[in-house]
A and B are shown apart, each in its own frame.
Chain A
Amino acid sequence: MQILRVNMKTKTTTREELPKEWELYGCRGLVAKVLLKEVPPACEPLGPFNKLVFANGPLAFPNVSSAGRFSAGGKSPLTGGIKEANSGGIAGLRLAGQGLRAVIIEGQPENREDLYVLHIGKDQINLDNAAEYRMMGIHELTQKLFARYGRDVSLTMIGPAGEMLMSSAAIINADQDGNPSRCCARGGLGAVMGSKGIKAVVVENGGFRQEIKDPGKFNETIKAYAELLRTSHQTSVAYPLYGTAGLISTINELGGMPSYAFRSGSFDQVDKITGEKLYELINERGGEGTPTHACMPGCLIRCSNVFAGRDGKKKVASFEYETIAMLGSNLGIGDFDAIAELNYLCNDYGIDTIEMGATLGVYMDLGLARFGDAAAAARLIREVGSGTLLGKVLGEGAAVTARIFKSLRAPVAKGQSIAAHEPRSIKGMSVTYATSPMGADHTAGVTTRAKVNQLDPNVQMELSRSTQVRMAAVDTLGVCLFVSTAGMKALLYLVEMLNAVYGTEHAAEFIDRLGKDVILTEREFNTRTGFNGYDDRMPEFMTYEAIPPHGAVSDIPEEHYRRFWDDEYWKI
């Protein structure tokens, strides 16, 4: 496999072999390795010395279920630290089809007005002029790019928020049916892409086939892995049926569903927005909607859906838990159509729905708009998308908005908003949000499903730590984290597949070793940017403001945060 380098100052591209020592590194781990080696930690995230890395994983084969994830990474304008965000869709597999594990975008156009499409084809790599797409929304851009480059390409795009270099800007990928809603959402990486003068990356369907050292063993393991995914409850029943929205009833009961700007962990209108309700509504409407959908070819889990509006026309695909909570319950909105409209706007402008939901929560909590007023929320998101002065403030995210409007309740860690797993009721999430080098990021270590007392502060540190290590490995292999719900056996199959493809002889412990190495690499980058461990903190208000229904605060003992980084544990 190779790495493609694109220099946006000189407009030149080069291909180089992936270093042997990074052979098993993809997605999140490869981002960490490249950043630590090549990016000056003190650099301005939106300046010429930051790099934008796109990567897939070492198991990105169309016949390995859920292994074609696509990562974007760079130094984050939101957190000031390392950032990796990943999504489904087909971009990961398309890169693999071109023989690429990663694309590294360096430098900046001298003329800040320049805008390009990076077009990666079979025999050519071009920077095509994209001036005609300036400030174009994602939905229109998707149609234009498919018309120009053909329907079989992958699309990786930014909207107006990315072009305006906003810290809440996402990078949006199209899925296998062309729906532009698979987001590398977090950390403002859309702004980094905007700062490189790239509106979109288009990758053709190439024919590169990676050598497989032991094809017999590979195929045998794929079969066993598929059988496991077809029989485990979560991957064969829960996700295909209700998607991520299926967790709403449980998480609301746990007190983990942010509502009214993190003032409650259970939502008084929850019955209107459960996974079951979403399923009923999608089926009842028919039209272009469907409750079960795969974002990438070969995925057996199929957690996505297509949500159609009242007219039966596709509105958002997929309609996900995080968005339903952050733009719904967190804003006091208990109406699928209203939430889907906000979701659509964020997708179109290229905005992270989690950061925007937290930001609008801060704004409403100050009484500057009413909770439950979906029209006001839509108006505010349009302000962001059109770059008004207020929009520029909100577009910088929850921390900046709280500072400017004087709220003491910014729900952030390392400058990034907390996601829709309430960290006071589900206390393991306090540890994950506070300690992850990524800032408050639920996917870094979801402890919600662990069968522990979620309210006991004393049992969370070890739980979060081991979960984070495992997730870092899964993210590095470019595999969907939902695979991990099928248990350790699923992860063992992944190791066996690596061995079959690359001729290695790793055992189960490889997963933990890989995860630790990745997190330590990320932490080292953050240390060099100036983080010193005292940044591993939860927002102050969560430490004293008890949240209903359990009256819980974020009270992980200080000493546990310190022990989190014990050298003994992190020895590889």
Chain B
Amino acid sequence: MMGLKVRVHSSLNVYLEPELRHRWFEIRAPRGLSASGLAEVLRLPAEAVMLVVVNGGQADPEQVLKEGDRVEVFPEILGG
């Protein structure tokens, strides 16, 4: 297992426990987890996730996460 720091943005927070919403929190996740795999671990609907940012840079969905990574998950959007 490895430790990750995670923050979920905007409407995706509704799928988290209230105490984890809109802030950084730590999780333990299996080694080898990909950026897109994290959505599954967090139980976010895959189709609603648009962007995963790792340590400030946009990640490939297949990018493998590492111990201590700071990971942010952003929802899909359209227009306004």
A276 to B8, CA, bound (A): 12
Stretch from A25-33, A89-97, A198-206, A441-449 that touches the partner:
A441-449
**In the complex, per-residue mask of B1-23: 1 if CB is within 8 Å of any chain A CB, else 0:** 00000000111011000000010
**B51/A254 in contact, CB under 8 A:** yes
List which A438-495 residues lie within 8 A (CB) of chain B.
442-443, 446, 448-449, 451, 481-482, 484-485
**A481/B10 in contact, CB under 8 A:** no
Chain A residues with CB under 8 Å of B76's CB are 233-234, 238, 250, 449, 485
**B50/A233 in contact, CB under 8 A:** no
Closest Cβ of chain A to B33, distance in Å, is: 19
On whether A247 and B14 interact (CB within 8 A), knowing A253-B74, A276-B22, the answer reads no
| Nearest A residue to B47, CB-CB | A233
**A250/B75 in contact, CB under 8 A:** yes
A237 to B13, CA, bound (A): 10
A254 to B58, CA, bound (A): 8
List which B51-80 residues lie within 8 A (CB) of chain A.
51, 53, 58, 72, 74-80
The contact size tier of chain B is: 20 to 34
| Nearest B residue to A245, CB-CB | B80
Q: Does B48 contact A (CB under 8 A)?
A: yes
**B78/A481 in contact, CB under 8 A:** yes
Q: Does B45 contact A (CB under 8 A)?
A: yes
A451 to B62, CA, bound (A): 13
Chain B residues with CB under 8 Å of A485's CB are 76, 78
**B50/A420 in contact, CB under 8 A:** no
List which A356-411 residues lie within 8 A (CB) of chain B.
none
A-B pairs with CB below 8 Å: how many? 87
Closest Cβ of chain B to A347, distance in Å, is: 16
Chain B residues with CB under 8 Å of A481's CB are 78-79
**A250/B50 in contact, CB under 8 A:** yes
**B48/A233 in contact, CB under 8 A:** yes
A244 to B72, CA, bound (A): 20
A171 to B80, CA, bound (A): 18
User: CB < 8 Å: which of B11, B50, B58, B79 contacts A242?
Assistant: B11
Chain A residues with CB under 8 Å of B11's CB are 233, 237-238, 241-242, 246, 275
Closest Cβ of chain B to A86, distance in Å, is: 13
Q: Does A249 contact B (CB under 8 A)?
A: yes
Closest Cβ of chain B to A475, distance in Å, is: 12
Chain A residues with CB under 8 Å of B79's CB are 244, 247, 321, 421, 442-443, 446, 448, 481
Chain B residues with CB under 8 Å of A244's CB are 79-80
Closest Cβ of chain B to A448, distance in Å, is: 6
| Nearest A residue to B22, CB-CB | A276
Q: Does A552 contact B (CB under 8 A)?
A: no
**B78/A275 in contact, CB under 8 A:** no
Chain A residues with CB under 8 Å of B74's CB are 249-250, 253
A446 to B51, CA, bound (A): 16
Chain A residues with CB under 8 Å of B9's CB are 249-250, 253, 276
Chain B residues with CB under 8 Å of A247's CB are 10, 77-80
Q: Can you name 22 A-B pairs with beta carbons within 8 Å?
A: A233-B48, A233-B75, A234-B78, A241-B11, A243-B80, A246-B10, A247-B10, A250-B10, A250-B75, A250-B76, A254-B58, A274-B10, A275-B11, A276-B10, A276-B13, A320-B80, A321-B80, A446-B79, A448-B79, A481-B78, A481-B79, A484-B78
Other A-B pairs beyond A234-B48, A250-B75, A253-B72, 13, CB < 8 Å: A233-B11, A233-B47, A238-B76, A241-B11, A247-B79, A250-B9, A250-B50, A251-B77, A253-B53, A274-B10, A443-B79, A448-B79, A449-B77
- By Cβ-Cβ distance, the 9 closest A-B pairs, closest first, are A244-B80, A321-B80, A247-B77, A233-B48, A238-B11, A250-B74, A446-B79, A249-B9, A250-B77
